[in-house]
Structure 1
Amino acid sequence: MTIGSDLLQRYSGAMVQVFGQPQLVLATGHGCWVTDVDGKRYLDLLSGIAVNALGHGHPALVQAVAKQAEQAIHISNFFTSEPAILLAERLLAISAAPAGSGVFFANSGTEAIEAAIKLSRRTGRTRLVALEGSFHGRSTGAVALTHKAAYREPFEPLIPDVSFVPPNDEAALSAVIDDRTAALFIEPIQGEAGVREVSADYLRLARELTSRHGALLVLDEIQTGIGRTGRWFAHQAAGIVPDAMTLAKGLAGGVPIGALVTFGRRITGLLAAGQHGTTFGGNPLACAAGLAVLDTIEREDLLGNALRVGSILDDLDSLDVAGVAATRGRGLLRAIELSGTPAPAAMAAAREAGFIVNAVTPTALRLAPPLVISEGELTSFVDALPAILEAARSVT
């Protein structure tokens, strides 16, 4: 028995099985590579589901966390810290937020969505609108906005008065947004639905409709934000400004953090003292990590790297790879749609070949590698893909 198989057996006896059986027991990581407990290396093309923006063990992040850990890890929300203030200021700057905007720090994307739901309730309305294919989190509030019935139905009744509309259907959106709507929640690219992009025109219509009817436009940038698409935030390609934005995942490079960004004095003022809070949110350690991530993205031009390296996957459509039907996405958030090969089998074959990818749907693989990935590293996967798909077909 290998070390990994022994640990996986012990996992089954010790953990609540909400994740099913893990694929591997990982031990270490360096750059874009991880190593399991039995010593096998893998190119990490998922980066903790778009979390490890700087890869593994990046010196800037390691040093920032170590330095802050020596000074103060946690201080409670009776106080504040310089890293929290600096990170909030940086987020407002890179999001081009107007005067009077603000940041609430949480510990995860789900918590950021919960804060946004409470923000919407302060409008005096309760009706929420989300998109078909949406995924906004696993808490009872966030899962009410998540379209997949299998995620919602076991926990009903949930928050009432939630409507779902098809993405990119402008007529359906126009019909559902009215003076009763509290907020519209949109992911600019729906990650869990298979990396499906909402068009710029649709986002602009969403902004126009919500403004006209006094509803909040909440953009969920939990997976798409912090440089993943080659911009700080995916919605910036549409030239719009939301009322609120939720962040998490890549913001602190693997240290747990979430954030709700509110745009403008009126929206920021909806939540008053005592109406929301968190024990660990905005702790100095997570905020120091967040600052290190933003600094490194700027210093190493990782926005540009996301576009340059991500474009390698654009070429897959022209390479005529057997079993690849299409590719989609932007920057370093991509999906490879398969034909004739189940995505779970392709994921397993990729793992056997030394690549970590995600079967995000039954027919699509998701790639969200670290923003520091090189052209050579991603090309090695593209070169291996035909053999991976052939191996997957041979066992199905």
Structure 2
Amino acid sequence: MTDPTISERYVGALMNTFGPPKLALVRGEGAHVWDENGKEYVDFLGGIAVNALGHNHPALVAAVTEQLSTLGHISNFFTSGPQVELAERLLALVPGGETGRVFFANSGTEANEAAFKLTRKTGRTKLVAASGAFHGRTMGALALTSKEAYRAPFEPLPGDVTFVPYGDAEALAAAVTDETAAIVLEPIQGEAGVIVPPAGYLAKAREIADARGALLWLDEVQSGLGRTGRMFAHEDSGVVADIVTLAKGLGGGLPIGACLGLGRAATLFEPGNHGTTFGGNPVACAAGLAVLRTIEEEGLLEHVTVLGQKLRDGLAADPRVSEVSGEGLFIGVVLPEGNTATVAAKALEAGFILNNATPDRIRLVPPLVVTSDDVEALLSAWPAILDQAHEEGRP
């Protein structure tokens, strides 16, 4: 009798929150991973936009190893050099950061929980969010997440949240009142399949927020830190937000999130208003600094811009693709057959990890260090993957 596999052991040991795992992965290098049977895959999901530097990047490994061998966890009764330096670095990068302050958390949903509480400090309780939004799974962040399947089992949810169609400035203006604490938007929606809003939408949201005395909160958890070929997806809009939330790629695989309060939002929290045990610990912050340094030193913003265009153009060249959306390596592929689950399954068989974000949208968020050869390999395999998915779906 053979020993059970990792995947078989998973079923008996972990809560059934995700269903059976697609694979049990055992190691990675760059944008490549290997499963427990030794099969190699090119990972175009990147831990859902988390593994910015891929796997086993020497800069990240060195930074974490050095920090852990020097100072690991210290609690937030104290501070450390990496914590302060990372906060300073983020504020130097974000538009409007010269007036800002940072709260560090452990994840995107925790960064958004902090932001949610920050909006309550305005004295208002109402929020306006967008249909298709995803801001997290904890109760507060879930209240801002529009997907009914996520929300329904846990209602009633906290907060007084109104949802409006994403990208519709008129609907946004009608929903925001003098009682609105904040408008909450993703500059580009990720979970919905990489939806890009119309030009000028964020600027209009800023105008609407200002007219009503509300905060503008931009969730850059998935879109930020190089993913679009810019450090922040909203930076070309000319908009300065009041709150920006970050996570995912910030730690390159280590858990860290950040809530950036800018302008009047920077000083809304007072001692005792919020807290965290692990947030801002030296090891996670050292990882964040390594990611930011590497993006700059390896010219990854330009790399993401050039390679992202190549990938988007190549995917769009197939006539069965009706649209390719996104910027940089933040890509949505629309398949009108509505067979994205089958496409993702066939891609996995072919050695490529893709994500079927919705029934008709594939999401690609590979490591920022994905190579031209990796992209060429997917583009070469793409027609056959679509062929196989189409054949499987035929009656």
Tell me whether 186-195 or 321-330 shows the greater mean CA deviation: 321-330
**Could you state the TM-score of these two structures normalised by the residue count of structure 1?**
0.97
More moved, 190-199 vs 342-351: 190-199
For each residue in 1:153-189, what CA deviation from the matched residue of structure 2 results, as whole angstroms up to 9, or x when unmatched? Answer: 1101111421000011111111111211001100011
User: Superposed, which structure 2 residues align to 1:168-317 within 5 Å?
Assistant: 168-264=167-263, 266-316=264-314
SS in 2 for 1:324: coil
Q: Residues 104-125 of structure 1: CA distance to partner in whole angstroms, max 9, x if unpaired?
A: 0000000000000100000000
Are residues 1:56 and 2:55 paired? Answer: yes
> More displaced, 108-117 or 371-380?
371-380
Matched, 1:345 2:339: no
1:2–1:210 distance in 2 versus 1, CA, 3 Å: farther
1:113 maps to 112
Give the deviation of 1:394 after TM superposition: 2.2
Instruction: Summarize deviations over 1:93-114 as a string: whole Å, max 9, x none.
Output: 0113344410000000000000
The answer to whether the 8 Å contact 1:2/1:38 transfers is no
C-alpha separation in 1, matches of 2:10 and 2:308 = 35
Shift of 1:341: 5.5
Counterpart contact for 2:316–2:322, Cα < 8 Å: no
Query: What is the number of residues matched between the two proteins?
Result: 393
CA distance in 1 between partners of 2:186 and 2:373 (Å): 30
Q: 1:187-236: CA deviations, max 9, x gaps?
A: 01111111101234110010011112111100000000010001000011
1:73 is aligned to 72
Structure 2 CA distance for aligned equivalents of residues 281 and 200 of structure 1: 35
Specify the SS of the correspondent of 2:200.
helix
2:357 to 349, 357, 360: 360
Instruction: Note the C-alpha offset of 1:388.
Output: 0.7
SS at match of 1:282: coil
Amino acid at match of 1:294: L
- 3-state SS of the aligned residue for 2:322? strand
Residue 387 (1) aligns with residue 393 (2)? no
Distance 1:327 1:358 in 2: 14
Query: C-alpha root-mean-square deviation of aligned residues, in Å?
Result: 1.4
1:317-332 equivalence runs, <5 A: 319=317, 321-332=318-329
Question: 2 CA distance for matches of 1:318 and 1:124?
Answer: 48
Identity in percent: 54
SS at match of 1:190: coil
State the Cα distance separating 1:314 from its structure 2 match. 3.1
8 Å contact kept, 2:332–2:361 = yes
For the 8 Å contact 1:30–1:57, the answer to whether it is kept is: yes
Q: TM-score, normalized by length of structure 2?
A: 0.97
Q: Aligned in 2, Cα 1:217/1:2: closer, same or farther, shift over 3 Å?
A: farther
**SS at 1:349's partner residue?**
helix
Contact 1:200 1:237 in 2 (8 A): no
Letter of the 2:347 counterpart: A
Given that 1:317 and 1:326 are in contact with CA atoms closer than 8 Å, whether structure 2 keeps it comes out as: no
